[in-house]
DNA sequence: TTGCCATTTCGTCATTTTGCGAAACATAGA
DNA sequence: TCTATGTTTCGCAAAATGACGAAATGGCAA
């Protein structure tokens, strides 16, 4: 139960849900995510920590950056993420658009 | 997104997750749930309110009681609840056992 | 080594959430 | 109507959460 509890807790926050939906578009570093969400670096970092602990996301170093992405290897997580497949609000479209355009060179 | 947010928020609490899993066994009234969970009446009532607002549960009057049950007619909800199908911890088994034995005559 | 840059951790504050008992409410039955 | 009983609402205290800026960390490059 703890596994699901962590996942639901993690996804039960608007900012984190937005982050997760954005990461379906592509993996991103903290400052790219920050740019789209608009909160402070430390706030984003904290949200990512919670998503990490729920094993919803993972990360890998690339260059000077740490790229965060969805942990699709986790079966429970990928099942939950499938539910979100057809989310389609204006806000989400906007985030997705920005995610596509996001480019570390112009952000970090 | 708001719909999912509400659902995840609602299920991101241990007590509420326990209630939902119990309600898969059978519909129950507030005092039956109270007996199994062990919190106060008002606490349980408040949790049920949150689950109601997320449309995870519904209710119907029966006799003097209000029976709460899972709102399986809601597609999103039933998809989420399917995820929980194979939960199997000791605590959950205990709750399920108690739910099966619960009988308003001896509780309310 | 030193400096730089991306990220995390820390300390603090405001807000939200959770839990409780008491009181209020609703309603079926005497 | 009055009573008993099941449920909800209210008011409050304690705990958890989310946000921020500042400071600390980690690692690459000069």
Q: What is the DSSP string of A86-97?
A: G---HHHHHHHH
Tell me what pLDDT residue B78 has.
94
| Region A2-101: CATH code | 1.10.10.10
Residue A83, both tokens: 């539910």
CA nearest to nucleotide D4 C1': residue: B64
As a whole number, mean pLDDT of residues B15-39 equals 96
The backbone region for B70, taken as left when phi is positive above 0, alpha when psi lies in -120 to 50, beta otherwise, is beta
ipTM of the complex as predicted? 0.92
Place of tokens 């990928």: A78
Rounded to whole angstroms, the distance from the CA of residue B61 to the C1' of nucleotide C28 is: 12
Q: What is the pLDDT of residues A8-64, one digit of tens each?
A: 999 999 999 999 999 999 999 999 999 999 999 999 999 999 999 999 999 999 888
Tell me what pLDDT residue A6 has.
97
Q: Which fold has domain B2-100?
A: Arc Repressor Mutant, subunit A (1.10.10)
Tell me what pLDDT residue B104 has.
84
Q: Could you say which residues from 34 to 93 on chain B have a Cβ atom under 8 Å away from some Cβ of chain A?
A: 76, 79-80, 83-84, 87, 89, 91-92
How far, in Å, are A17, A84, A105, B99 from residue A87 at the CA level?
11, 6, 29, 35
pLDDT exceeds cutoff 90 at A73: yes
Nucleotides of strand D lying closer than 7 angstroms to a protein CB: 5-11, 17-23, 26, 28
């Amino acid at each position: 139960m703890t596994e699901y509890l962590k996942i639901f807790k993690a996804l039960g926050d608007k900012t984190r849900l937005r982050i997760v939906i954005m990461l379906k578009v592509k993996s991103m570093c903290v400052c790219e995510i920050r740019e789209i969400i608009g909160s402070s670096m430390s706030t984003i970092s904290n949200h990512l920590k919670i998503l990490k602990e729920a094993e919803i996301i993972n990360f890998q170093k690339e260059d000077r950056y740490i790229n965060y992405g969805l942990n699709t290897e986790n079966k429970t997580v990928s099942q939950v993420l499938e539910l979100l497949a057809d989310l389609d609000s204006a806000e989400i479209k906007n985030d997705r658009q920005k995610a596509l355009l996001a480019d570390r060179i112009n952000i970090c």
